[in-house]
Structure 1
Amino acid sequence: MTQPDDTPSTPTLDSPPVLPTVQAPPAASRGAFDHVMEQFARDYLRDRRSSRRWSLFFRLGWLGLGLFAAWSVYSENTHNSVPTGPHTALVELRGEIAVGSEASAEVLLSGLKSAFEDQGAQAVVVRINSPGGSPVQSGIVYDEIRRLKDKHKKKVYAVVEESAASGAYYIAVAADEIYVDKASIVGSIGVLMDGFGFDEVMKKVGVERRLLTAGSNKGMLDPFSPENPQQRAHAQAMLDQIHRQFIDTVKQGRGERLKETPDTFSGLFWNGEEAVKQGLADGLGSLDYVAREVIKAEEIIDYTARENVAERLAKRFGAAVGEGAARSLRAMPSLN
């Protein structure tokens, strides 16, 4: 009896292999699948278009910022590159005189040097609206104005708007003449060092001050420790010395025009009208008056060194980009 052969037959060209039958999904399921895929494709294309738009926007934005920066630098430096006729050179002194401010010695000297070096500048006007500030910064500007005057043989005029007090008046006396408004605040020739003392309050609330120093005077004038008479005397002597320097500078700058009284160097200040009477100023007048009537060069060109808008925007953009890059780097995996 013949046994059945279980070996599968070899396929030939005449008999193609039989493929398993795949049952088609129901029509309802196929329609839902097609709808999902169509929605996915639409969302993907929308995201790609949005990404391209934002990429183009940022590229155009950076291009615009670059063009604006170039235009700003060019427009602000035009007066230095284009020959000018006879004019009055202006340098502004505004705000607190301090390192890093718009009234720092670095900023003021940049404008002053440009003003003095321009052959068309008949004289230099420093327009002042400042309550004062650092005696060091004020002294640097005072000395440099006197040096530039001697080097370029040009006169300097100070025009006070709201105030020229303390360190601002220190700078003003470097000018050949000082003009004020009748209501300007002028003077305050003095030096101060202020602070607070909290040691009694700390005793009342039961707080103990623990201050460690290497050097017996390293904690000098610490507001949380009792006042030390020797340290106070030392600080007062230092202030008196700076005050004497201030007084000598005013006397040197004003000369015989100064009508000194017991209050002149007491730290008091006066309005412009009284300042003229005391010889702290030479007359009443605005910037336009000085340019027109005193210098005889009515055209005014501003040489004040300023941070332009483009530079400020670039710094802000740079800070934002740097912060974003730092966040990205922190989020990235590393090989360490």
Structure 2
Amino acid sequence: MAQSDPSDIVQPISQQSPTAPQPIVIQNYPSSSLGWRILAAIGWMGVFLCVPIILGQAITSASYYDTTEGVSEKYVSGSKSADDKIAIINVKGVIMEGEGYIRKQIDLVKEDKDVKAVVVRVDSPGGTVTGSDYILHHLKELKKERDIPLVVSMGSMATSGGYYVAMAVENEKDAIFAEPTTTTGSIGVIIPHYNISGLMKEYNVEDDSIMSHPRKQMLTMTREMPEEHREILQEYVNQAFGRFKDIVKEGRPDFAANPEKLDVLATGEIFTANQALNNGLVDKIGFVEEAVARAAELASIDPKTSRVVTYEQPTALFDLGLAQGKAMNWDKMLELSAPKAYYISSYLPPVMSSFPFGSR
């Protein structure tokens, strides 16, 4: 049998010489059908529709779990790159329910483990009894939970409920600083009441309200207040006043040892910074920088190598009460007409609380 010539044997492409020309294989793919194109278009439309929905759900979820509502940290002084922080919590304006900006600041500090000390900056004439007590409670909880020192810096005014909040220092020494021009004090309670019954008689207007009991109208402006009702309300005020003085004794231990001294001061009278210092209502005359230095000292950190921060409140578009085109916020007006006890240095607390500078 004749042997075949090796040159006649066709080798696989992979075994051919590298210099040998490579065959070009061309495959023809069928063109996409109209059906496939429609399916692809539908798929892309689904993607475009789903992305906004998914993003919207993510934003909604983030908003649901976000308790800060736009309150953000801002650098004040010290080292910008430092880990240790001294936080300044602002209590400004008329105090109403206590929720809102002030509570959000407290929550931010509570969650930030880099904060080693707190300065509460008080610039407030006070507000409602409940709102002031709410803020005091949460400041104390912050101190207890984080085990960090707290110092108070008083601004232009820290009266009544503003002074009440300052008692969050408890028995810490040299912890309340008042600026040279600070107005403080006004330790007392008031339930505003106005009597327009004489005016109504003059214009022949009668209050013909139907009530379950005469005491339901104890604070009505349209009738003379009976002595029985006045005694009931006075007892209510006395109890709120007693709690105020007890809180002051916690923050000013010297008054606990000498309650008669506090009774002399707790008349609703306001005091200058020097008068407050001489009477033991504050510890030092100094600005916020001195308060920061004291907080750093109590925390055993250096204020120059720490980062001092505060918290900014976002500016609402309709802060003047004209939101959504409403000329009058009737639910707020109704709220203001309800009887409330106030720790406040003012003769028109309900009117003041309706303005946008309220700290809420």
Q: TM-score range by the shorter chain?
A: 0.5 to 0.7
1:172 aligns with 166
CA distance in 1, matches of 2:291, 2:254: 22
**Structure 2 unaligned spans of 5+:** 1-68, 297-301, 326-360
Match of 1:301 among 309, 325, 328: 309
1: CA distance, partners of 2:163 / 2:178: 12
Identical-residue share of aligned pairs (%) = 22
More helix as a share of residues: 1
Counterpart among 84, 93, 97 of residue 91 in structure 2: 93
Which residue number in structure 2 is paired with residue 43 of structure 1? Answer: none
Q: Which residue of 1 is the match for residue 236 of structure 2?
A: 238
Distance in 1, Cα, partners of 2:129 & 2:225: 25
After TM superposition, the structure 1 = structure 2 runs for residues 141-220 of structure 1, keeping only pairs within 5 Å, are: 141-175=135-169, 176=172, 177-220=175-218
The aligned residue for residue 349 of structure 2 is none
Is the Cα contact below 8 Å between 2:187 and 2:269 reproduced in 1?
yes
Q: In the alignment, is the contact (CA less than 8 A) between 2:84 and 2:114 conserved in 1?
A: yes
For 1:241-299, what per-residue CA distance to the aligned partner results, in whole angstroms no more than 9, with x for missing partners? 00001000110111127772542111112111111111111101111222235514243
Long gaps (5+) in structure 1: 1-72, 321-336
Deviations along 1:202-234, whole A, 9 cap, x unmatched? 323333332221223112221111221111111
- The CA deviation string for residues 128-169 of structure 1, in whole angstroms up to 9 with x for no partner, is 110000110111111111122111110111100101101111
Match of 1:218, SS state, is: helix
Q: Is 1:76–2:81 an aligned residue pair?
A: no
Q: Which has the higher contact order (CA 8 A, sep 6+)?
A: 2
- Distance in 2, matches of 1:249 and 1:95, equals 21
Distance 1:220 1:300, change over 3 A: same
State how far apart, in whole Å, the 2-side matches of 1:197 and 1:257 are.
Answer: 37
* Whole-Å separation in 2 of the counterparts to 1:178 and 1:225: 45
The residue that corresponds to 1:327 in the other structure is none
In 2, the alpha carbon distance for the partners of 1:75 and 1:191 equals 32
* Equivalent residue number for residue 136 of structure 1: 130
Structure 2 Cα separation of the partners of residues 257 and 318 of structure 1: 47
Q: Count matched residues.
A: 239
**CA distance in 2 between partners of 1:291 and 1:273 (Å):** 21
In 1: Cα distance, 2:243 partner to 2:113 partner: 34
Instruction: Render the CA deviation track for 1:170-213: whole Å, top value 9, x for unaligned.
Output: 10011241100122111111000122112223323333332221
TM-score (norm 1): 0.64
Q: What displacement does 1:109 show? A: 2.0
Would you say the 8 A contact 1:117–1:152 is kept in 2? no
2: CA distance, partners of 1:76 / 1:262: 41
1:112 touches 1:303 (CA, 8 Å); kept in 2? no
In terms of Rg, which structure is larger?
1
2:287 and 2:160 mapped to 1: Cα distance? Answer: 21
Q: What CA distance in whole angstroms lies between the structure 1 residues aligned with 2:168 and 2:214?
A: 41
CA distance in 2, matches of 1:78, 1:183: 26
Q: 1:70-124: per-residue Cα shift (whole Å, max 9, x none)?
A: xxx9993688xx995122111111100013xxxx333212211212332222210
Corresponding residue of 2:350:
none
Distance in 2 of aligned mates of 1:198 and 1:261: 36
Cα gap change, 1:257 to 1:288, in 2 (>3 Å): farther
Distance 1:257 1:85, change over 3 A: farther
